[in-house]
A and B are shown apart, each in its own frame.
Chain A
Amino acid sequence: MTRWMDEEAGPVVRPYALVGGRTRSSGDALDLVALVTATGTTPSGGFVPGPEQERILALVTTATSVADVASEIGLPLGVVRVLLGDLQDHGLISIGRASASERILKEVINGLRAL
Protein backbone atom coordinates (compact mmCIF):
# COMPACT_ATOMS: atom_id res chain seq x y z
CA MET A 1 0.00 0.00 0.00
CA THR A 2 2.86 2.36 0.90
CA ARG A 3 3.98 2.72 -2.70
CA TRP A 4 0.52 3.96 -3.63
CA MET A 5 0.63 6.60 -0.99
CA ASP A 6 1.99 10.09 -1.36
CA GLU A 7 1.99 11.53 2.13
CA GLU A 8 1.42 15.05 0.80
CA ALA A 9 -1.33 14.24 -1.64
CA GLY A 10 -3.06 11.55 0.42
CA PRO A 11 -4.09 8.20 -0.91
CA VAL A 12 -4.47 7.76 -4.68
CA VAL A 13 -7.49 5.57 -4.09
CA ARG A 14 -10.28 7.15 -2.04
CA PRO A 15 -10.91 5.01 1.03
CA TYR A 16 -14.49 4.15 0.14
CA ALA A 17 -13.41 2.90 -3.31
CA LEU A 18 -11.66 0.11 -1.44
CA VAL A 19 -14.96 -1.18 -0.17
CA GLY A 20 -17.00 -0.61 -3.32
CA GLY A 21 -18.70 2.44 -1.89
CA ARG A 22 -20.29 0.42 0.88
CA THR A 23 -20.63 1.97 4.29
CA ARG A 24 -22.63 -0.84 5.86
CA SER A 25 -21.58 -4.39 6.59
CA SER A 26 -21.72 -7.00 9.30
CA GLY A 27 -18.66 -5.26 10.75
CA ASP A 28 -20.76 -2.24 11.78
CA ALA A 29 -21.26 -3.30 15.35
CA LEU A 30 -17.61 -4.06 16.01
CA ASP A 31 -16.52 -2.43 19.22
CA LEU A 32 -13.27 -0.45 19.15
CA VAL A 33 -11.65 -2.86 21.57
CA ALA A 34 -13.13 -6.07 20.14
CA LEU A 35 -10.24 -8.43 19.44
CA VAL A 36 -9.68 -9.68 15.92
CA THR A 37 -7.76 -12.91 15.28
CA ALA A 38 -7.06 -14.62 11.96
CA THR A 39 -8.52 -18.12 11.88
CA GLY A 40 -5.94 -19.33 9.36
CA THR A 41 -8.56 -21.05 7.22
CA THR A 42 -8.73 -20.71 3.44
CA PRO A 43 -11.43 -18.41 2.06
CA SER A 44 -14.72 -20.08 1.26
CA GLY A 45 -17.14 -19.53 -1.62
CA GLY A 46 -14.62 -18.04 -4.06
CA PHE A 47 -13.96 -15.02 -1.84
CA VAL A 48 -10.62 -13.39 -2.60
CA PRO A 49 -9.37 -10.97 0.06
CA GLY A 50 -8.28 -7.60 -1.34
CA PRO A 51 -4.80 -6.17 -0.70
CA GLU A 52 -5.98 -4.24 2.39
CA GLN A 53 -7.67 -7.37 3.71
CA GLU A 54 -4.46 -9.31 3.17
CA ARG A 55 -2.65 -6.67 5.22
CA ILE A 56 -5.22 -7.03 7.97
CA LEU A 57 -4.89 -10.83 7.95
CA ALA A 58 -1.11 -10.53 8.25
CA LEU A 59 -1.54 -8.15 11.18
CA VAL A 60 -4.02 -10.18 13.20
CA THR A 61 -2.08 -13.43 13.55
CA THR A 62 -2.31 -12.62 17.26
CA ALA A 63 -5.41 -10.99 18.78
CA THR A 64 -5.48 -7.29 17.80
CA SER A 65 -8.10 -4.71 18.71
CA VAL A 66 -10.24 -3.07 16.01
CA ALA A 67 -8.74 0.32 17.00
CA ASP A 68 -5.20 -1.02 16.57
CA VAL A 69 -6.08 -2.54 13.20
CA ALA A 70 -7.46 0.80 11.94
CA SER A 71 -4.49 2.71 13.35
CA GLU A 72 -1.95 0.28 11.90
CA ILE A 73 -3.57 0.05 8.44
CA GLY A 74 -4.08 3.83 8.39
CA LEU A 75 -7.60 3.72 6.97
CA PRO A 76 -10.69 5.32 8.51
CA LEU A 77 -12.50 3.22 11.07
CA GLY A 78 -15.66 2.94 8.93
CA VAL A 79 -13.69 1.43 6.04
CA VAL A 80 -11.84 -0.96 8.32
CA ARG A 81 -15.14 -2.15 9.78
CA VAL A 82 -16.45 -3.00 6.31
CA LEU A 83 -13.24 -4.88 5.45
CA LEU A 84 -13.39 -6.77 8.75
CA GLY A 85 -17.07 -7.58 8.24
CA ASP A 86 -16.25 -9.30 4.94
CA LEU A 87 -13.42 -11.27 6.51
CA GLN A 88 -15.69 -12.35 9.34
CA ASP A 89 -18.50 -13.36 6.95
CA HIS A 90 -16.05 -15.64 5.15
CA GLY A 91 -14.69 -17.18 8.31
CA LEU A 92 -11.21 -15.72 7.95
CA ILE A 93 -11.21 -13.92 11.29
CA SER A 94 -12.82 -14.49 14.63
CA ILE A 95 -13.93 -11.65 16.89
CA GLY A 96 -13.71 -11.86 20.65
CA ARG A 97 -14.88 -9.52 23.35
CA ALA A 98 -13.95 -10.66 26.85
CA SER A 99 -15.49 -8.75 29.71
CA ALA A 100 -13.66 -7.60 32.80
CA SER A 101 -13.75 -9.85 35.83
CA GLU A 102 -12.83 -8.90 39.36
CA ARG A 103 -9.53 -10.72 38.97
CA ILE A 104 -8.67 -8.85 35.75
CA LEU A 105 -9.43 -5.47 37.35
CA LYS A 106 -7.16 -6.27 40.29
CA GLU A 107 -4.47 -7.24 37.83
CA VAL A 108 -4.93 -3.91 36.02
CA ILE A 109 -4.65 -1.94 39.29
CA ASN A 110 -1.42 -3.75 40.19
CA GLY A 111 -0.11 -3.33 36.66
CA LEU A 112 -0.82 0.43 36.71
CA ARG A 113 0.91 0.78 40.09
CA ALA A 114 3.98 -0.94 38.65
CA LEU A 115 4.20 1.39 35.63
Chain B
Amino acid sequence: MFENIFTAEAWREAWRILRPTLLSGIWETLYVTLLSTALAIVIGLPLGVLLVTGRPGGVRPLPRALMRFLNALINLLRSIPFLILMIVVFPLTRLIVGTVIGTAATVVPLVIAAFPFVARLVESSLSEVSPGQIEMAQSMGASPFRIVIGVMLPESVPSLISNLTIALTTILGYTAMSGVLGGGGLGKIAISYGYYRYKYAVMLVAVVCLILLVELFQLIGTRLASACDKRQKKNG
Protein backbone atom coordinates (compact mmCIF):
# COMPACT_ATOMS: atom_id res chain seq x y z
CA MET B 1 0.00 0.00 0.00
CA PHE B 2 2.71 2.46 0.97
CA GLU B 3 5.42 1.13 -1.38
CA ASN B 4 5.49 4.21 -3.59
CA ILE B 5 5.88 6.63 -0.69
CA PHE B 6 9.67 6.68 -0.63
CA THR B 7 10.23 7.41 -4.31
CA ALA B 8 11.50 10.78 -5.42
CA GLU B 9 8.56 11.07 -7.81
CA ALA B 10 6.06 10.69 -4.96
CA TRP B 11 7.68 13.51 -2.98
CA ARG B 12 7.89 15.82 -6.01
CA GLU B 13 4.19 15.29 -6.53
CA ALA B 14 3.46 15.81 -2.85
CA TRP B 15 5.36 19.09 -2.92
CA ARG B 16 3.28 20.22 -5.92
CA ILE B 17 0.07 19.51 -4.00
CA LEU B 18 1.16 20.81 -0.62
CA ARG B 19 2.88 24.03 -1.68
CA PRO B 20 -0.38 25.93 -2.27
CA THR B 21 -2.49 24.09 0.35
CA LEU B 22 -0.39 23.21 3.41
CA LEU B 23 -0.08 26.63 5.05
CA SER B 24 -3.74 27.48 4.60
CA GLY B 25 -4.57 23.96 5.82
CA ILE B 26 -2.59 24.47 9.01
CA TRP B 27 -4.20 27.88 9.46
CA GLU B 28 -7.73 26.52 8.95
CA THR B 29 -7.12 23.68 11.39
CA LEU B 30 -5.73 26.09 13.97
CA TYR B 31 -8.52 28.57 13.72
CA VAL B 32 -11.33 26.01 13.68
CA THR B 33 -9.79 24.25 16.67
CA LEU B 34 -9.22 27.41 18.69
CA LEU B 35 -12.60 28.92 17.83
CA SER B 36 -14.48 25.71 18.60
CA THR B 37 -12.62 25.26 21.88
CA ALA B 38 -13.33 28.85 22.88
CA LEU B 39 -17.05 28.47 22.12
CA ALA B 40 -17.13 25.06 23.83
CA ILE B 41 -15.63 26.71 26.93
CA VAL B 42 -18.22 29.49 26.81
CA ILE B 43 -20.97 26.85 27.10
CA GLY B 44 -19.07 24.11 28.96
CA LEU B 45 -17.53 26.17 31.75
CA PRO B 46 -20.82 27.46 33.24
CA LEU B 47 -22.33 24.01 32.73
CA GLY B 48 -19.39 22.38 34.53
CA VAL B 49 -19.74 24.89 37.39
CA LEU B 50 -23.44 24.03 37.60
CA LEU B 51 -22.64 20.30 37.74
CA VAL B 52 -20.50 20.89 40.85
CA THR B 53 -22.48 23.58 42.65
CA GLY B 54 -25.85 21.99 41.89
CA ARG B 55 -25.03 18.60 43.40
CA PRO B 56 -26.77 17.57 46.60
CA GLY B 57 -24.44 19.06 49.23
CA GLY B 58 -22.99 21.55 46.73
CA VAL B 59 -22.86 25.26 47.41
CA ARG B 60 -26.18 25.84 45.63
CA PRO B 61 -28.02 22.51 45.26
CA LEU B 62 -30.42 22.38 42.32
CA PRO B 63 -33.48 20.16 41.96
CA ARG B 64 -32.37 16.57 41.52
CA ALA B 65 -34.50 16.17 38.40
CA LEU B 66 -32.70 19.06 36.72
CA MET B 67 -29.30 17.61 37.63
CA ARG B 68 -30.33 14.20 36.29
CA PHE B 69 -31.46 15.84 33.05
CA LEU B 70 -28.18 17.75 32.63
CA ASN B 71 -26.12 14.65 33.29
CA ALA B 72 -28.18 12.56 30.90
CA LEU B 73 -27.88 15.23 28.17
CA ILE B 74 -24.12 15.42 28.58
CA ASN B 75 -23.72 11.65 28.51
CA LEU B 76 -25.95 11.43 25.44
CA LEU B 77 -24.00 14.03 23.48
CA ARG B 78 -20.71 12.49 24.53
CA SER B 79 -21.70 9.01 23.40
CA ILE B 80 -22.60 9.94 19.82
CA PRO B 81 -19.62 9.29 17.48
CA PHE B 82 -18.40 12.60 16.08
CA LEU B 83 -19.03 11.83 12.40
CA ILE B 84 -22.62 10.78 13.13
CA LEU B 85 -23.12 13.91 15.22
CA MET B 86 -21.93 16.01 12.29
CA ILE B 87 -24.62 14.48 10.10
CA VAL B 88 -27.29 14.79 12.78
CA VAL B 89 -26.64 18.51 13.25
CA PHE B 90 -26.47 19.32 9.51
CA PRO B 91 -29.87 21.08 9.63
CA LEU B 92 -28.74 23.22 12.55
CA THR B 93 -25.43 23.96 10.83
CA ARG B 94 -27.26 25.02 7.68
CA LEU B 95 -29.52 27.24 9.79
CA ILE B 96 -26.62 28.97 11.55
CA VAL B 97 -23.86 29.07 8.91
CA GLY B 98 -25.93 28.73 5.72
CA THR B 99 -23.94 25.76 4.47
CA VAL B 100 -22.70 22.40 5.77
CA ILE B 101 -19.49 22.38 3.73
CA GLY B 102 -16.30 24.16 4.62
CA THR B 103 -14.26 25.30 7.54
CA ALA B 104 -16.77 27.58 9.23
CA ALA B 105 -19.52 24.97 8.99
CA THR B 106 -17.57 22.42 11.04
CA VAL B 107 -17.48 24.78 14.02
CA VAL B 108 -21.14 24.01 14.82
CA PRO B 109 -20.80 20.23 15.26
CA LEU B 110 -17.40 20.68 16.88
CA VAL B 111 -18.85 22.94 19.59
CA ILE B 112 -21.78 20.59 20.14
CA ALA B 113 -19.42 17.63 20.46
CA ALA B 114 -16.94 19.48 22.66
CA PHE B 115 -19.01 21.44 25.19
CA PRO B 116 -20.25 18.37 27.11
CA PHE B 117 -16.65 17.13 27.24
CA VAL B 118 -15.46 20.52 28.49
CA ALA B 119 -18.27 20.54 31.09
CA ARG B 120 -17.06 17.18 32.44
CA LEU B 121 -13.45 18.38 32.55
CA VAL B 122 -14.46 21.56 34.37
CA GLU B 123 -16.53 19.45 36.76
CA SER B 124 -13.53 17.30 37.54
CA SER B 125 -11.24 20.33 38.04
CA LEU B 126 -13.66 22.10 40.37
CA SER B 127 -14.28 18.93 42.36
CA GLU B 128 -10.61 18.99 43.35
CA VAL B 129 -11.07 22.20 45.32
CA SER B 130 -10.86 21.24 48.99
CA PRO B 131 -14.21 21.22 50.80
CA GLY B 132 -12.45 23.05 53.64
CA GLN B 133 -11.82 26.10 51.48
CA ILE B 134 -15.43 26.17 50.40
CA GLU B 135 -16.51 25.85 54.02
CA MET B 136 -14.14 28.71 54.88
CA ALA B 137 -15.80 30.94 52.29
CA GLN B 138 -19.27 29.89 53.49
CA SER B 139 -18.31 30.64 57.08
CA MET B 140 -17.40 34.16 55.94
CA GLY B 141 -20.83 34.64 54.47
CA ALA B 142 -19.83 34.33 50.81
CA SER B 143 -22.73 33.81 48.43
CA PRO B 144 -22.64 30.79 46.07
CA PHE B 145 -21.70 33.13 43.22
CA ARG B 146 -18.80 34.62 45.20
CA ILE B 147 -17.64 31.13 46.18
CA VAL B 148 -17.49 30.15 42.51
CA ILE B 149 -15.80 33.38 41.38
CA GLY B 150 -13.58 33.91 44.41
CA VAL B 151 -12.62 30.40 45.48
CA MET B 152 -13.53 27.53 43.19
CA LEU B 153 -12.37 28.96 39.85
CA PRO B 154 -9.19 30.73 41.02
CA GLU B 155 -8.12 27.76 43.14
CA SER B 156 -8.48 25.33 40.25
CA VAL B 157 -6.77 27.42 37.56
CA PRO B 158 -3.77 25.09 37.09
CA SER B 159 -6.04 22.06 36.86
CA LEU B 160 -8.43 23.89 34.51
CA ILE B 161 -5.55 24.77 32.20
CA SER B 162 -4.31 21.16 32.09
CA ASN B 163 -7.80 19.85 31.45
CA LEU B 164 -8.61 22.45 28.81
CA THR B 165 -5.38 21.47 27.05
CA ILE B 166 -6.79 17.96 26.84
CA ALA B 167 -9.99 19.43 25.38
CA LEU B 168 -7.99 21.43 22.84
CA THR B 169 -6.03 18.42 21.57
CA THR B 170 -9.18 16.30 21.42
CA ILE B 171 -10.97 18.99 19.42
CA LEU B 172 -7.96 19.16 17.11
CA GLY B 173 -8.50 15.45 16.43
CA TYR B 174 -12.19 16.03 15.70
CA THR B 175 -11.29 18.91 13.36
CA ALA B 176 -9.09 16.56 11.36
CA MET B 177 -11.87 13.95 11.30
CA SER B 178 -14.33 16.50 9.94
CA GLY B 179 -12.27 16.46 6.69
CA VAL B 180 -14.26 13.34 5.75
CA LEU B 181 -17.55 15.26 5.71
CA GLY B 182 -16.66 18.56 4.11
CA GLY B 183 -14.52 20.10 6.81
CA GLY B 184 -11.37 21.98 5.82
CA GLY B 185 -7.82 21.99 7.10
CA LEU B 186 -5.14 19.37 7.53
CA GLY B 187 -7.66 16.56 7.89
CA LYS B 188 -9.17 17.37 4.52
CA ILE B 189 -5.73 17.40 2.88
CA ALA B 190 -4.82 14.06 4.45
CA ILE B 191 -8.08 12.39 3.44
CA SER B 192 -8.85 13.86 0.05
CA TYR B 193 -5.32 13.64 -1.36
CA GLY B 194 -3.76 10.91 0.72
CA TYR B 195 -6.61 8.47 1.12
CA TYR B 196 -8.92 9.06 -1.86
CA ARG B 197 -6.12 9.65 -4.38
CA TYR B 198 -3.44 7.41 -2.94
CA LYS B 199 -0.97 10.26 -2.38
CA TYR B 200 0.38 8.75 0.82
CA ALA B 201 3.28 11.17 1.07
CA VAL B 202 0.74 14.03 1.31
CA MET B 203 -1.13 12.18 4.02
CA LEU B 204 2.11 11.61 5.93
CA VAL B 205 3.03 15.31 5.87
CA ALA B 206 -0.46 16.36 6.99
CA VAL B 207 -0.42 13.84 9.83
CA VAL B 208 3.06 14.97 10.94
CA CYS B 209 1.74 18.55 11.02
CA LEU B 210 -1.16 17.41 13.23
CA ILE B 211 1.27 15.65 15.55
CA LEU B 212 3.40 18.80 15.81
CA LEU B 213 0.31 20.88 16.59
CA VAL B 214 -0.70 18.52 19.39
CA GLU B 215 2.84 18.61 20.77
CA LEU B 216 2.82 22.40 20.64
CA PHE B 217 -0.56 22.73 22.39
CA GLN B 218 0.46 20.26 25.07
CA LEU B 219 3.78 21.99 25.64
CA ILE B 220 2.16 25.40 26.02
CA GLY B 221 -0.62 23.99 28.24
CA THR B 222 1.76 22.18 30.58
CA ARG B 223 4.09 25.17 30.89
CA LEU B 224 1.18 27.55 31.51
CA ALA B 225 -0.43 25.30 34.13
CA SER B 226 2.78 25.01 36.07
CA ALA B 227 3.58 28.73 35.74
CA CYS B 228 0.15 29.60 37.17
CA ASP B 229 0.38 27.22 40.10
CA LYS B 230 1.32 29.07 43.28
CA ARG B 231 1.45 25.93 45.36
CA GLN B 232 5.03 25.17 44.37
CA LYS B 233 7.64 26.41 46.75
CA LYS B 234 9.37 29.11 44.83
CA ASN B 235 10.04 32.76 45.41
CA GLY B 236 7.92 35.35 43.71
A and B associate = no
- Chain A interfacial positions (CB closer than 8 Å to B): none
- Chain B interfacial positions (CB closer than 8 Å to A): none
